[in-house]
Structure 1
Amino acid sequence: MKYRYLGSTGLSVSELCFGAMTFGEKGNFLGAPERNWSEFGVVPENTAYDLVYKALDAGINFFDTADCYKNGQGEELLGNALKGKRHEVIIGTKGRWQTDTNPNSVGSSRYHIINAVEESLKRLKTDYIDIYHLHGFDPRTALEDTLRTLDNLIRSGKIRYIGVSNYAAWQLAKALGISERLGLEKFCVYQGYYNIAARELEHEIVPLSVDQNVGITVWSPLAGGFLTGKYPRNESFPEGSRLSNATPFESAPIANREQAYDTLEVMQEIAKQHNATVAQVALNWLRARPGITSLVIGATKMTQLEDNIAALSWDLSQEEMNLLNKVSDKEKPYPYWHICNVAGDRRIKSDVYP
């Protein structure tokens, strides 16, 4: 296993983070009552434990979950599996979405965050959370109040570091500024949707995170399974699969599907040359991108986890990276084309703005 430092925390975390979103049976998501999380996978208790043990044996020391995953089953089963190993691992969980019928059990208010952390601690069977993420932005709660609440929770020892997921760049930048101005703990990690078929994170989040030394962890690095290469170009996605769902929130959105298939063809050729899988190519492309600390992988079967772990046994060449960057590149929106190409009399080139 390979490890990287997470932002400026000094924490050394594995390049693969094992996610527990698939753990458990069906469970309602109160933010969208028609959903039950089964489209992301259903993993029974004993299988969940076996997957965690395999991850530990491979050297993975970073685990991710959230309070809303299958009504807390994700946290509960992860906590059970890590019993006796707590001091050896880094656990990240998230809160923001509604988990019960109380109208105040949602958002980033002082009321909800304190209660959510207490409930997560119980389910995880621990007295501290290594990284507590806000699972999304809350426009109805003042950031100052949320940040003071999180700072107090750190000072009380219940959480150790804080992060965000699914924030816009301006929201993260504003929060970092408030923390600096008020002397509060800063967000040290950003967890976002990013893969070779969906590179939007590169416009603002990656440059901001690199500049501010915020670690980036990636959810859905395989685009909901699309980047395994198992879905033929001219066939519909299987009914009930994650990619068959209609709304972007429920699936892993890909803006240009034809380009994604063109990219997959190149990835398949590279995979053959390395005697590897397309999924491994996708993971290795992400590992080599600027600012990336860890990739959050999930699994419903042991073979999936083993294949993902095997990606760390080899690296893409610079020639292969250049080829993949070119075939997956997308037209940059304003002002990024201007920043990259015509900013004054100097052409800006960097790892962040290629």
Structure 2
Amino acid sequence: MKTKLLGRTGVSVSELCFGTMSFGGDADEATSAAMYKAVRDAGINFFDCADEYNKGKSEEILGRLAKGDRDNLVLTTKCFSPQSDDINARGSSRRHVVRAVERSLKRLQTDRIDVLFLHKFDPLTPIEEMMRGLEDVVRSGKVLYPAVSNWSAWQTQRAVDIQERHNWARLQVVQPMYNLVKRQAEVEILPMAQANGIGVIPYSPGAAGLLSGKYLGQATGRLKTNKMYEARYGEAWTFDVAEKFAAFCKQQGLHPVSAAIAWVGSHPGVTAPIIGARNLDQLKDSLAAVKVNMTPELRAEIAGLSPTPPPATDRLEEQKPPAA
């Protein structure tokens, strides 16, 4: 497993990040432990979590598994979503961020969170206030590096500008959705991150299993039963892309899951795609992504299977093919 520097932190992380959303949900504690061992044996030192995953159980299980190995790991978690019926136990106010971090530290059984993400953009809280909340938990030593997830490029850039003006700890990582059928990040988020030296750890590189090929021709599965995934990937053209991708991978002798993850990881702005699994069988194909020789030519061929998003200005006439 190769490593990469995470943003401008000087911290080295594995080229794949393991997402623990299944811990305490689809994966019970024994299965979670088996997957943890497998990814550690494969060389992964980078783990992603969130306080909302399975109502805190994911953090609790990850904390138990990481105990004794903590100094060898880079752990992330997130806050934003409601944690109780209290109207203030949600969002990205300084008040909630501080309390959420305290609770996450207890569940993770650690004295610090390496990377803390604001899970979503909070339209009720000014960006300056959100960044001050991150500064508070960094100054307290409870968080090492501030980060944001599911933020647009302009929101992230605004946050960085505010932090630099106040000489506050700067955003070091962003976490967007990015895969072969969700390529909006290529337009502004990834270029913004590259310009600022911000690390990028995209989630859903396999498009919630769509790119695995297992849903082709089926009317069932979580893409049909899960409202969130149905909204993301329910359009007919995404299934057309998945079908073309599966056929291409078969022709090339590639496993579609491995190839989908390797494709995301091959973007020069990406630090480490987040892989996830419900069991060991699913996990092995994701881990095999590091064995895919994703050349620029192969990346371009795969990219050609899906629509390229228009430029930020929408001036399509100015798009030029790469120089030969």
TM-score tier (shorter): over 0.9
Secondary structure of the structure 2 residue equivalent to 1:4: strand
Match of 2:219 in 1: 236
Please state whether the residue corresponding to 2:95 is helix, strand or coil. Answer: helix
Q: Report whether the alignment pairs 1:108 with 2:92.
A: yes
- How far the C-alpha of 1:288 sits from its partner, in A, is 1.1
* Contact 2:213–2:242 (8 Å) recurs in 1: no
The amino acid that maps onto 1:315 is: N
Q: 3-state SS of the aligned residue for 2:145?
A: strand
Q: In the alignment, which of 287, 294, 302 is matched to residue 272 of structure 2?
A: 294
Match of 1:29? none
C-alpha separation between the residues in 2 aligned to 1:246 and 1:52?
Answer: 26
Q: Deviations over 1:246-269 (max 9, x none)?
A: 64x455713753354345424433
CA distance in 2, matches of 1:313, 1:159: 34
Counterpart of 2:40 in structure 1 is 56
Q: Where in structure 2 are the equivalents of 1:174-213 lying within 5 Å? A: 174-213=158-197
Matched, 1:94 2:78: yes
Which runs of structure 2 are paired with 1:1-354 in the superposition (5 Å)? 1-25=1-25, 42-233=26-217, 235-238=218-221, 241=222, 243-245=223-225, 247=227, 249-251=228-230, 253-254=232-233, 257-258=236-237, 260-274=239-253, 276-332=254-310, 335-338=313-316, 341-342=317-318
1:151 positional shift: 1.3
Tell me, what secondary structure is at the counterpart of 2:201?
strand
Q: Conserved in 1, the CA contact under 8 Å of 2:210 and 2:242?
A: no
Q: Distance in 1 between matches of 2:149 and 2:282?
A: 25
Q: Which has the higher helix share?
A: 2
Instruction: Check 1:11–1:334 CA distance in 2 against 1; reply closer, same or farther (3 A cut).
Output: closer
- CA-CA distance at 1:316 after TM superposition: 2.4
Structure 2 gap segments, 5+ residues each: none
SS at the partner of 1:157? coil
Q: Distance in 2 between matches of 1:15 and 1:196?
A: 19
1:321 positional shift? 1.8
CA offset digits 1:183-204 (Å, max 9, x no partner): 1111111101110111111111
Partner-residue secondary structure (3-state), 2:161: helix
Q: CA deviation at 1:160?
A: 0.3
Q: Distance in 2 between matches of 1:210 and 1:78?
A: 30
Q: Partner amino acid for 1:103?
A: I
User: What TM-score, normalized by structure 1, do the two folds share?
Assistant: 0.86
Cα separation, 1, equivalents of 2:231 and 2:256: 17
Quote the Cα distance in structure 1 between the aligned partners of 2:64 and 2:314. Answer: 46
Equivalent residue letter for 1:253: R
Which whole-Å CA distance do the structure 1 matches of 2:62 and 2:315 have between them?
A: 44
The answer to whether the 8 Å contact 1:24/1:43 transfers is: yes
- Per-residue displacement from partner, 1:165-193 (whole Å, max 9, x unpaired)? 00111111110110011111111111011
Going from structure 1 to structure 2, the CA distance change for 1:329 and 1:52 (only over 3 Å counts) comes to: same
Unmatched 5+ residue regions in structure 1? 26-41
**Counterparts of 1:245 and 1:86, CA distance in 2:** 37
Distance 1:334 1:302, change over 3 A: closer
User: C-alpha offsets along residues 63-97 of structure 1, whole Å, 9 cap, x if unaligned?
Assistant: 00000011100100000111100000000000011
CA contact (8 A) 1:267 1:281 kept: no
SS of equivalent to 1:70 = helix
Q: Partners in 1 of 2:294 and 2:131 — Cα distance? A: 40
Conservation of the 8 A alpha-carbon contact between 2:152 and 2:189: yes
Alpha carbons 2:211, 2:246 under 8 Å: kept: no
The list of structure 1 runs, each at least 4 consecutive aligned residues, that deviate by more than 4 angstroms after superposition, is 347-351
1:54 Cα deviation (Å)?
Answer: 1.0
TM-score (norm 2): 0.93
Percent sequence identity over aligned pairs: 37
The alignment covers a number of residue pairs equal to 323
Deviations 1:28-75 (A, max 9, x none): xxxxxxxxxxxxxx1111111111111111100000000001110010
Offset from partner CA, 1:319-352 (integer Å, 9 cap, x none): 32221122213351661435xx43xxxx76779x
The answer to whether the Cα contact below 8 Å between 1:143 and 1:175 also exists between their aligned partners in 2 is yes
